[in-house]
Structure 1
Protein backbone atom coordinates (compact mmCIF):
# COMPACT_ATOMS: atom_id res chain seq x y z
CA UNK A 1 0.00 0.00 0.00
CA UNK A 2 1.61 3.33 -1.01
CA UNK A 3 2.26 5.92 1.69
CA UNK A 4 0.11 8.99 1.69
CA UNK A 5 1.21 12.42 2.79
CA UNK A 6 -0.55 11.84 6.12
CA UNK A 7 1.50 8.67 6.80
CA UNK A 8 4.83 10.46 6.47
CA UNK A 9 6.54 12.43 9.23
CA UNK A 10 7.28 16.08 8.74
CA UNK A 11 10.30 18.01 9.99
CA UNK A 12 8.87 18.25 13.51
CA UNK A 13 9.31 14.53 14.24
CA UNK A 14 12.09 13.27 16.50
CA UNK A 15 14.30 12.30 13.60
CA UNK A 16 15.96 9.02 12.70
CA UNK A 17 18.70 9.18 15.35
CA UNK A 18 16.10 9.00 18.13
CA UNK A 19 14.27 6.24 16.29
CA UNK A 20 17.44 4.14 16.19
CA UNK A 21 18.00 4.63 19.93
CA UNK A 22 14.40 3.66 20.67
CA UNK A 23 14.70 0.59 18.45
CA UNK A 24 17.85 -0.47 20.35
CA UNK A 25 16.00 -0.07 23.68
CA UNK A 26 12.96 -2.08 22.60
CA UNK A 27 12.36 -5.12 24.81
CA UNK A 28 13.08 -8.49 23.24
CA UNK A 29 10.39 -10.91 22.07
CA UNK A 30 10.87 -13.32 24.98
CA UNK A 31 10.34 -10.54 27.54
CA UNK A 32 7.38 -8.98 25.75
CA UNK A 33 5.70 -12.39 25.41
CA UNK A 34 6.16 -13.02 29.14
CA UNK A 35 4.74 -9.60 29.92
CA UNK A 36 1.76 -10.25 27.65
CA UNK A 37 1.10 -13.55 29.46
CA UNK A 38 1.03 -11.77 32.82
CA UNK A 39 -1.38 -9.13 31.50
CA UNK A 40 -3.50 -11.91 30.00
CA UNK A 41 -3.62 -13.58 33.41
CA UNK A 42 -4.65 -10.30 35.00
CA UNK A 43 -7.42 -9.95 32.43
CA UNK A 44 -9.55 -12.67 34.01
CA UNK A 45 -12.07 -11.67 36.74
CA UNK A 46 -11.69 -14.93 38.69
CA UNK A 47 -7.90 -14.65 38.78
CA UNK A 48 -8.20 -11.01 39.89
CA UNK A 49 -10.49 -12.08 42.74
CA UNK A 50 -7.93 -14.69 43.79
CA UNK A 51 -5.14 -12.10 43.74
CA UNK A 52 -7.27 -9.67 45.74
CA UNK A 53 -8.06 -12.40 48.26
CA UNK A 54 -4.34 -13.12 48.71
CA UNK A 55 -3.27 -9.47 49.03
CA UNK A 56 -2.91 -9.52 52.80
CA UNK A 57 -2.92 -13.14 53.83
CA UNK A 58 -1.71 -16.56 52.81
CA UNK A 59 -4.69 -18.89 52.43
CA UNK A 60 -5.30 -22.56 51.82
CA UNK A 61 -7.23 -23.66 48.76
CA UNK A 62 -10.34 -24.48 50.80
CA UNK A 63 -10.42 -20.94 52.25
CA UNK A 64 -10.18 -19.45 48.75
CA UNK A 65 -12.96 -21.78 47.56
CA UNK A 66 -15.23 -20.60 50.38
CA UNK A 67 -14.40 -16.92 49.90
CA UNK A 68 -15.07 -17.01 46.16
CA UNK A 69 -17.99 -19.44 46.34
CA UNK A 70 -16.50 -21.58 43.58
CA UNK A 71 -15.67 -25.24 43.17
CA UNK A 72 -12.30 -26.55 44.32
CA UNK A 73 -11.43 -27.81 40.85
CA UNK A 74 -12.00 -24.40 39.25
CA UNK A 75 -10.01 -22.57 41.94
CA UNK A 76 -7.16 -25.10 41.78
CA UNK A 77 -7.02 -24.70 38.00
CA UNK A 78 -6.73 -20.90 38.29
CA UNK A 79 -4.13 -21.16 41.06
CA UNK A 80 -2.05 -23.51 38.92
CA UNK A 81 -2.23 -21.03 36.04
CA UNK A 82 -1.18 -18.16 38.31
CA UNK A 83 1.60 -20.25 39.85
CA UNK A 84 3.02 -21.14 36.43
CA UNK A 85 3.33 -17.41 35.71
CA UNK A 86 4.95 -16.79 39.14
CA UNK A 87 2.05 -14.59 40.24
CA UNK A 88 1.31 -16.79 43.24
CA UNK A 89 3.44 -19.29 45.12
CA UNK A 90 2.47 -22.26 47.20
CA UNK A 91 3.60 -23.80 50.44
CA UNK A 92 2.63 -27.32 51.40
CA UNK A 93 2.09 -28.43 54.99
CA UNK A 94 1.11 -32.08 55.06
CA UNK A 95 -1.80 -32.39 52.65
CA UNK A 96 -2.75 -28.72 52.90
CA UNK A 97 -1.49 -26.29 50.27
CA UNK A 98 -1.26 -22.60 51.14
CA UNK A 99 -1.07 -19.87 48.52
CA UNK A 100 0.27 -16.34 48.67
CA UNK A 101 1.35 -13.70 46.18
CA UNK A 102 4.76 -14.50 44.72
CA UNK A 103 6.33 -11.13 45.55
CA UNK A 104 5.63 -7.46 46.21
CA UNK A 105 5.68 -6.65 42.48
CA UNK A 106 2.38 -8.43 41.97
CA UNK A 107 0.88 -6.64 44.96
CA UNK A 108 2.10 -3.26 43.68
CA UNK A 109 0.73 -3.84 40.17
CA UNK A 110 -2.63 -4.95 41.53
CA UNK A 111 -2.96 -2.12 44.06
CA UNK A 112 -1.90 0.53 41.53
CA UNK A 113 -4.41 -0.68 38.94
CA UNK A 114 -7.15 -0.97 41.59
CA UNK A 115 -6.51 2.65 42.60
CA UNK A 116 -6.52 3.67 38.94
CA UNK A 117 -9.90 2.00 38.33
CA UNK A 118 -11.43 3.51 41.48
CA UNK A 119 -10.07 6.99 40.71
CA UNK A 120 -12.64 9.42 39.31
Structure 2
Protein backbone atom coordinates (compact mmCIF):
# COMPACT_ATOMS: atom_id res chain seq x y z
CA UNK A 1 0.00 0.00 0.00
CA UNK A 2 1.74 3.18 -1.13
CA UNK A 3 1.08 6.88 -0.87
CA UNK A 4 -1.57 8.16 -3.23
CA UNK A 5 -0.19 11.00 -5.31
CA UNK A 6 -3.06 11.79 -7.63
CA UNK A 7 -6.70 11.15 -6.71
CA UNK A 8 -9.62 12.25 -8.83
CA UNK A 9 -13.28 11.27 -9.10
CA UNK A 10 -14.99 9.53 -11.99
CA UNK A 11 -18.37 10.45 -13.51
CA UNK A 12 -20.17 8.54 -10.73
CA UNK A 13 -18.29 10.31 -7.93
CA UNK A 14 -16.01 7.37 -7.07
CA UNK A 15 -12.41 8.05 -6.15
CA UNK A 16 -9.94 7.01 -8.80
CA UNK A 17 -6.20 6.77 -8.29
CA UNK A 18 -4.43 8.10 -11.33
CA UNK A 19 -0.92 7.11 -10.29
CA UNK A 20 0.10 5.38 -7.06
CA UNK A 21 3.35 6.36 -5.40
CA UNK A 22 6.03 3.68 -5.40
CA UNK A 23 7.24 4.62 -1.92
CA UNK A 24 5.54 3.10 1.15
CA UNK A 25 3.16 5.51 2.86
CA UNK A 26 3.93 6.80 6.39
CA UNK A 27 1.44 4.35 7.97
CA UNK A 28 3.11 1.41 6.27
CA UNK A 29 6.59 2.60 7.27
CA UNK A 30 5.43 3.02 10.88
CA UNK A 31 3.82 -0.41 10.94
CA UNK A 32 7.03 -1.95 9.63
CA UNK A 33 8.84 -0.45 12.59
CA UNK A 34 6.28 -1.11 15.34
CA UNK A 35 3.87 -3.61 13.83
CA UNK A 36 5.82 -6.80 14.31
CA UNK A 37 4.40 -9.16 16.88
CA UNK A 38 5.49 -8.17 20.42
CA UNK A 39 7.24 -4.91 19.43
CA UNK A 40 4.58 -2.60 20.89
CA UNK A 41 4.41 -4.68 24.06
CA UNK A 42 8.19 -4.63 24.42
CA UNK A 43 8.26 -0.84 24.16
CA UNK A 44 5.40 -0.61 26.65
CA UNK A 45 7.28 -2.73 29.21
CA UNK A 46 10.44 -0.66 28.74
CA UNK A 47 8.75 2.74 29.14
CA UNK A 48 9.41 2.95 32.89
CA UNK A 49 13.09 2.01 32.77
CA UNK A 50 15.55 -0.71 31.81
CA UNK A 51 14.42 -4.32 32.11
CA UNK A 52 16.58 -7.43 32.17
CA UNK A 53 16.01 -9.84 29.31
CA UNK A 54 14.60 -12.70 31.39
CA UNK A 55 12.23 -10.37 33.24
CA UNK A 56 11.02 -8.92 29.94
CA UNK A 57 10.46 -12.40 28.48
CA UNK A 58 8.40 -13.33 31.56
CA UNK A 59 6.33 -10.13 31.29
CA UNK A 60 5.45 -10.96 27.69
CA UNK A 61 3.99 -14.31 28.70
CA UNK A 62 3.17 -15.99 25.40
CA UNK A 63 6.39 -15.07 23.59
CA UNK A 64 9.28 -17.51 23.43
CA UNK A 65 12.71 -16.27 24.47
CA UNK A 66 13.85 -16.78 20.88
CA UNK A 67 11.02 -14.54 19.61
CA UNK A 68 11.76 -11.88 22.24
CA UNK A 69 15.43 -11.97 21.33
CA UNK A 70 14.66 -11.60 17.60
CA UNK A 71 12.30 -8.67 18.16
CA UNK A 72 14.75 -6.94 20.48
CA UNK A 73 17.52 -7.33 17.90
CA UNK A 74 15.27 -5.83 15.19
CA UNK A 75 14.30 -2.98 17.51
CA UNK A 76 17.92 -2.34 18.46
CA UNK A 77 18.88 -2.17 14.77
CA UNK A 78 16.03 0.31 14.21
CA UNK A 79 17.19 2.47 17.13
CA UNK A 80 14.11 1.88 19.29
CA UNK A 81 15.94 0.16 22.16
CA UNK A 82 19.50 -0.23 23.36
CA UNK A 83 21.14 -3.28 24.90
CA UNK A 84 23.44 -3.14 27.89
CA UNK A 85 25.55 -6.05 29.13
CA UNK A 86 25.28 -6.06 32.92
CA UNK A 87 27.55 -9.02 33.60
CA UNK A 88 29.61 -11.48 31.58
CA UNK A 89 29.44 -14.44 33.96
CA UNK A 90 26.71 -15.41 33.99
CA UNK A 91 25.66 -13.34 31.02
CA UNK A 92 23.03 -10.79 31.93
CA UNK A 93 21.69 -8.05 29.68
CA UNK A 94 19.12 -5.33 30.09
CA UNK A 95 17.21 -3.38 27.49
CA UNK A 96 16.27 0.26 27.64
CA UNK A 97 14.03 2.36 25.45
CA UNK A 98 15.79 5.07 23.43
CA UNK A 99 14.45 8.59 22.89
CA UNK A 100 13.34 7.47 19.44
CA UNK A 101 11.50 4.51 20.98
CA UNK A 102 10.02 6.74 23.67
CA UNK A 103 8.53 8.94 20.96
CA UNK A 104 6.21 6.00 20.08
CA UNK A 105 4.91 5.56 23.64
CA UNK A 106 2.28 8.29 23.21
CA UNK A 107 0.94 6.39 20.21
CA UNK A 108 0.81 3.20 22.29
CA UNK A 109 -1.05 5.02 25.08
CA UNK A 110 -3.62 6.28 22.56
CA UNK A 111 -3.98 2.75 21.17
CA UNK A 112 -4.45 1.34 24.69
CA UNK A 113 -7.10 3.96 25.49
CA UNK A 114 -8.88 3.28 22.19
CA UNK A 115 -8.98 -0.48 22.84
CA UNK A 116 -10.23 0.01 26.41
CA UNK A 117 -12.89 2.53 25.40
CA UNK A 118 -14.29 0.16 22.78
CA UNK A 119 -13.94 -2.92 25.00
CA UNK A 120 -11.98 -4.72 22.31
Which bin holds the TM-score, normalised by the shorter protein? 0.5 to 0.7
Q: Give 1:5's aligned residue.
A: 11
- Paired residues in the alignment total 97
Paired with 1:105 and 1:6, the residues of 2 have a C-alpha distance of: 43
Cα-to-partner distance string for 1:66-119 (whole Å, 9 max, x where unaligned): 222343222111101111222222222233221122223022221122222223
Q: Give 1:49's aligned residue.
A: 41
CA RMSD in angstroms comes to 2.8
Q: Give 2:83's aligned residue.
A: 90
TM-score, normalized by length of structure 2? 0.61
Shift of 1:44: 3.3
Cα-to-partner distance string for 1:33-91 (whole Å, 9 max, x where unaligned): 7x634323432342222222212131011111222234322211110111122222222
Gaps of 5+ in 2: 1-8, 16-22
Paired with 1:7 and 1:98, the residues of 2 have a C-alpha distance of: 56
Give the structure with the higher percent helix.
Answer: 1
Give the structure with the higher percent strand.
Answer: 2
1:76 to 46, 69, 88: 69
Structure having the higher Rg: 1
TM-score, normalized by length of structure 1? 0.61
